[in-house]
Amino acid sequence: MEDFSKYSAIIIGAGDATGSALTKKFASFGYKVCPARRPRNINKLEELADEIKDSGGWAKAYGVDAREESSIKDFFEEVENNVAPIDVVIFNPGANVFFPIVDTTARVFTKVWEMAAFAGFLSGREAARHMKKRNRGSIFFTGATASVRGGSGFAAFSSAKFALRSLSQSMARELGPQGIHVAHFIIDGAIDTAFIKENFPDVYALKEKDGILQPNAIADAYWFVHTQEKNAWTHELDLRPYMEKF
Topology of the domain covering 4-238: Rossmann fold (3.40.50)
pLDDT tens digits for range 178-215: 999 999 999 999 899 888 898 889 999 999 999 999 99
pLDDT tens digits for range 128-147: 999 999 999 999 999 999 99
The Cα 163–Cα 170 span in angstroms is: 11
How many C-beta atoms lie closer than 10 Å to residue 114's C-beta? 19
Q: Is there a contact between 62 and 75 (Cβ–Cβ < 8 Å)?
A: yes
Nearby residues of 174 by Cβ (< 8 Å), 6 or more positions away? none
pLDDT tens digits for range 32-81: 999 999 888 888 899 999 999 999 999 999 999 999 999 999 999 999 99
